[in-house]
Amino acid sequence: MGLGIWAMHFIAMLAFHLSIPVSYSITGVIFSIFPAIISSVIAFFIISRTTMGKTQVILGAIFMAIGIVSMHYTGMEAMEMGAIIEYSLLLWILSAIIAFISSLVGLYLLFFISQNYSTPDMWWRKAGSALIMGIAISGMHYTGMAAAKFKAHHHAEPTVSLFNSTILAYSIGIAMLIIFGLVFISIFVEKRFQSQSIKFESKFQSVIESATDAIVLADSLGNIISWNKGAELIFGYKDKEVLGRNLQIIIPEKYREAHQKGMKRYISTQEPHVIGKTVELQGLKKGGDVFPIELSIATWNEEENMYFSSIIRDITERKQSEKKINQMVYRDSLTGLPNRLLLNDRLNQALEQAKDNKQSLGVMFIDLDRFKYINDTLGHAMGDLLLIEVANRIQACLGKADTVSRQGGDEFIVFIPQSNSDKVTKIAQKILDLFSRSIVIKEQELFVTPSIGISVYPEDGRDTETLIKNADTAMYRVKEQGKNNFEFYTPEMNETISKKMKLELGLRKALVNNEFKLVYQPQIDIGTGKLLGVEALLRWHHPEWGTISPAEFIPLAEETGLIVPIGEWVLYKACMQNKEWQNEGYSPIRMAVNISSLQFQQSNFVETVRKILKETELDPIYLELELTESIIQDSKHAVSTMHNLKNMGIYLSIDDFGTGYSSLSYLKTFPIDTLKIDQTFTRNIYIDQKDASLVSTIINMAQNLDLKVIAEGVETAEQLQFLQQERCNEAQGYFFSRPIPAQEMNYIFQQQFANKK
């Protein structure tokens, strides 16, 4: 700008022709450039301010006017010629005023343009301003030239012009145009770069601001220099609240010292530990809440200063989801205890440690006694609450290093690391003692007891599967021996379990392979010796193992539920056989069939009996169902079922009377026809006076209740004589006949027929 003003002034002076030769002092010409440059510096200094007051404008205009006037008159003094210059005071003052006004207007226009450069249609304002400034400066110059009067003097030496004024003027003009061209090109290029930089920065800033993650920039001291909208949402601070403050504001107190040390270590060593990696940490919200975050840190250097950029993501929802998934995958949904998967993982780790350290480890398999009864009686909701309380009680007996897992249903597994038999015994006894007290749920008092099987590493197994299997085996031994106790595994138990499993497998195939058969034991009228009925008894002959005792396979059939299909088969075969005897012309008799508790509890039991009677065409009066005392303990269900059976015409008897635990009140409540005295009482009539008294009492009580009595297990004449004296109605046993096949019963029928004749 300064060179432009000076060039205009100097070219205009060269365009001024005098009648005498004129040359210019190089020193003076160069010296005249400086006031123009200084006035330009003053102008740009003033307009670069964000505000511009009146005083600043006036002072600036004065200094610029002085600079312009100084440039003009210094340039005039650089003229070397045979004349002296005299100035008109009025025109000189006018030129100074023009310089001041042009400077004032120029400053205002420059300031206005600099503050509104992005306003649309600003180009014509710029062009107009340039025109006004050009006219003003030119006017000042020519006013100044007009103020000068040149008077020749004869003593001056004639000057010799060293260059042509026209050529010099064009040279300066062209040179200035070139300079201006370069300046404008550089300004254009700079503005393009600046525009692109602004656009890029704007886009970059837009991306940062629109990001949902927190993007935080900090200097080497940890002071925050940039804070985006994502950071506001995550941490709760506005940018004005955190800019200039230290990053410690968003770091929980327990991590601040470590964070500070980490920054210092990286700055001094440049060795990254978390720089360039994604790590999971914790952040601190404005309200003081600590929450999980995912952090990525990068660094860059600028002007020998180091800066840190952090991308922070709130992973609260992800952690909650992971926790839920962990609960679903590794935890029991009801009790929150580890499930089978997590138990196996922990137990495998504990076994590795026990192996390395040569230590023992105990495993307990716990099954609740009578839980199914409570679950079925009070409902699954109450059963679930009971399981939760059971889990809490078991946990209360264990240490921090011990683990209890729910395997499903009412089964729990406990493993105790670094333990021996004594320690495991104490814990097992503690569990038993704790369950000796009742559990109260919703004002309902409940009692459950645990059966606990125990295995110990390494004696009872060296892997998870074997230890759990052996503890389970020991638990079943506890169940068989009365429940509510604990038992350590022994190798002999495996033989028993293995035999039981083989027996169960064979039992499942027995019906299909037609391995069952029925035998029949006669029931005799004690007074007349007449055949009144037979009891159908089940026998199993295995092709490899031979004949298997009912005492061995009947309990297993009841335990596995196989007694239901087997019982239906027995009932069908017995009814069919009885009908065949009748079709063969033998006198009709009753067929007694034992009914298991599980079979009687089936909802379709009455319909099953009705269907079998219909298919076999047997009259219901010739069928007797023998029920155990355990069947009728559920009185509500039993009364309804028994009345339905009785209405069909079926005889009902109580088998093994006196061995159960039911109240005698059912004798008058239920529609019973007969009581069967168990053979354990009959066998000891002459050995144990108490048994004799019991038999007499049962017979008298039955007669008073108008019930018939049949005694089982009669083997001697003395036993029969005692029963006759006590007026027992019927008897069966080896004294009369052992259980025999249907073919052999034909001889008894024939004998009865012959005696009748």
302 and 338 fall within a common domain: no
Higher per-residue pLDDT: 692 or 150: 692
CB 417, CB 354: distance < 8 Å: yes
Q: Which two tokens stand for residue 100?
A: 């001041």
Average pLDDT over residues 633-644: 78
342 and 310 fall within a common domain: no
At residue 526, φ and ψ (nearest 5 deg) are: -65, -35
Report the percent of the chain where pLDDT is more than 90: 30
Which SS3 state, helix, strand or coil, does residue 221 take?
A: coil
Q: Is residue 195 part of a domain?
A: no
Report the percent of the chain where pLDDT is more than 70: 89
CA distance 563 to 599: 7
The reported pLDDT for the residue numbered 712 is 92
Q: Of 181-195, 356-370, 693-707, which range is least confident?
A: 181-195
What is each CA distance from 369 to 36, 387, 606, 733, in whole angstroms? 110, 12, 30, 37
Q: Is residue 191 part of a domain?
A: no
586 and 730 fall within a common domain: yes
Average pLDDT over residues 309-334: 81
Task: Write the single-letter amino acid at 706.
Answer: D
CA distance 63 to 79: 25
What is the extent of the structural domain holding 408? 331-489
374 and 279 fall within a common domain: no
560 and 469 fall within a common domain: no
Which SS3 state, helix, strand or coil, does residue 305 take?
A: strand
278 and 354 fall within a common domain: no
Confidence tier at 328 by pLDDT (50, 70, 90): low
Q: Of 9-13, 30-34, 452-456, which range is least confident?
A: 9-13
The reported pLDDT for the residue numbered 518 is 96
Task: Write the single-letter amino acid at 480.
Answer: E
At residue 211, φ and ψ (nearest 5 deg) are: -70, 135
Degrees, nearest 5: CA angle 261-267-272:
80
645 and 526 fall within a common domain: yes
Q: Of 72-86, 531-545, 731-745, which range is least confident?
A: 72-86
* Residue environment code for 565-600, b if the CB has 16+ CB neighbours within 10 A, otherwise e: ebbbebbbbbbbbbbebbeeebeebbbbbbbbbbbb
Q: Is residue 178 part of a domain?
A: no
pLDDT at 755 over 70: no
Confidence tier at 278 by pLDDT (50, 70, 90): confident
The reported pLDDT for the residue numbered 351 is 92
Confidence tier at 431 by pLDDT (50, 70, 90): very high
* DSSP code for 223: B
Q: Is residue 182 part of a domain?
A: no
Q: Is residue 382 part of a domain?
A: yes
pLDDT at 529 over 60: yes
Confidence tier at 482 by pLDDT (50, 70, 90): confident
Q: Is residue 125 part of a domain?
A: yes
529 and 578 fall within a common domain: yes
CB 234, CB 312: distance < 8 Å: yes
Higher per-residue pLDDT: 59 or 20: 59
471 and 557 fall within a common domain: no
pLDDT at 322 over 80: no
Higher per-residue pLDDT: 33 or 125: 33
481 and 624 fall within a common domain: no
Average pLDDT over residues 610-626: 95
The reported pLDDT for the residue numbered 470 is 92
CA distance 230 to 215: 7
Degrees, nearest 5: CA angle 56-61-65:
155
Q: Which domain-ending residue is among 319, 345, 372? A: 319
* DSSP code for 630: T
CB 443, CB 451: distance < 8 Å: no
CATH number at residue 261: 3.30.450.20
CA distance 714 to 683: 7
CATH number at residue 468: 3.30.70.270
For residue 731, what is the enclosing H or E element?
A: strand 730-731
Q: What is the pLDDT of residues 258-276, one digit of tens each?
A: 888 888 888 888 787 778 7
Average pLDDT over residues 691-710: 89
CA distance 481 to 532: 40
Q: Among 396, 407, 328, 408, which residue's Cα sits nearest to residue 363?
A: 407
* Average predicted confidence (pLDDT) for the chain: 84
The reported pLDDT for the residue numbered 2 is 77
| Upstream peptide bond of 565 is cis (omega within 30 degrees of 0) | no
Confidence tier at 481 by pLDDT (50, 70, 90): confident
pLDDT at 30 over 60: yes
Q: Which domain-ending residue is among 296, 319, 342? A: 319
297 and 339 fall within a common domain: no
Q: Which domain-ending residue is among 293, 319, 345? A: 319
Q: What is the pLDDT of residues 549-597, one digit of tens each?
A: 998 899 889 888 899 999 999 999 999 999 999 999 899 999 999 999 8
Q: Is residue 307 part of a domain?
A: yes
Higher per-residue pLDDT: 363 or 172: 363
Q: Is residue 556 part of a domain?
A: yes
CATH number at residue 713: 3.20.20.450
Average pLDDT over residues 662-666: 61
Average pLDDT over residues 34-58: 75
Higher per-residue pLDDT: 714 or 195: 714
Q: What is the pLDDT of residues 342-353, one digit of tens each?
A: 888 889 999 999
The reported pLDDT for the residue numbered 161 is 47
Q: What is the pLDDT of residues 157-213, one digit of tens each?
A: 544 444 455 666 677 777 777 777 777 787 777 777 766 666 666 666 676 777 788
Number of domains in the chain: 4
Confidence tier at 392 by pLDDT (50, 70, 90): very high
638 and 749 fall within a common domain: yes
CA distance 73 to 61: 18
